[in-house]
Structure 1
Amino acid sequence: MMDVKVLRLGHRPSRDARITTHVCLTARAFGASEVILSGEEDPKLMEGVEDVVRRWGGPFSVVYRRNWQGVIDSWKKDGGEVIHLTMYGLPARDVVPGIRDNGKDKLIVVGGARVPGKVYSLADYNVGVTNQPHSEVSSLAVFMHMLLDGAEFDLKFEDARIEVIPQARGKMLREIDDDGD
């Protein structure tokens, strides 16, 4: 099974904490194994995401790497491919089937304040979920859904302490003890 990780470019704690948190939560919920933050380091954000993983399960991690280009270069050297989500890219509906079916591990790059031009040339694919301005969170969710062909609906998260009990109205959570019950 392919490994999927997300590289979040240009994180700024003072401006991006909420949106980057949502990138992390979306990546986890849709089956990525890790988010790699670049830009400014943000231990508070990372602790918050780690707390979600402790309560809702994993496997999932968030790590910081100052050098985003080193992350991309290493990923490609190890045989993975890089998908940059950008409104300027090729339509997702046209390229996702080939990306999904080639079996390579995926590094999905989502932008921040300003995406360096070099990202476009380093990426194996520049993919547009739409060619209109919108959020990196929505791009990531739609792309991951297409990439996994809906399999995210069946994901099970190891070592979860709580889970949602789906119902038509209201909210219900179930606490899971150490035996998984």
Structure 2
Amino acid sequence: MYGVSGAQQQGFQVLRGSTFSISCSIQPQYPGGSFLLSSSTHNYTQPAVNHSAHFLFPAAEPAHQGNYSCVYHLLVRSHSFSSESRPLSVTVSDPTPLILRAVVVLLLIPLLILMLAIVLYICFKAIRGQCRQEDMELEEDNLAAMPLQATRRQRRQEDMELEEDNLAVMPRQVTRV
């Protein structure tokens, strides 16, 4: 959190277990003083060093969630001065949903690739099977046509033989001139 001067602060989100810090600072007028970082559940105090203080949270927990304000206190010649910042909202979120989403995405990508490969394989087999079916039907048609062609040839051969026999049997007519 920068600036006890009153710059509007927006909230931020931290993952549970992660490290975060809140920094408080003020425009220098007098040396010294201290900063109080307060929330509805906690109060932390640190001396002002170079007109700022850094409050470190080594492992974010749900208890750290809330609105924080920096309050600068300074005592000058028995006069007390203080200045408070606008609140900063801190939200601590559980990393499990994020990890779960990452795992789901990492599992879904190979699964989708596998499903695509299976669909392509099935389509390829279906197209190939359809071509084979057409080839088999064509072959069956050819085989069915072969006896018909053989029968026609055989009939022609028989007709030719009959004609030859008829010609041989027929008496020759002699024409006299």
Does 1 or 2 have the higher relative contact order (CA < 8 Å, sep 6+)? 1
Identify the TM-score tier after normalising by the shorter chain.
Answer: under 0.3
TM-score by length of 2: 0.19
Which structure: larger Rg?
A: 2
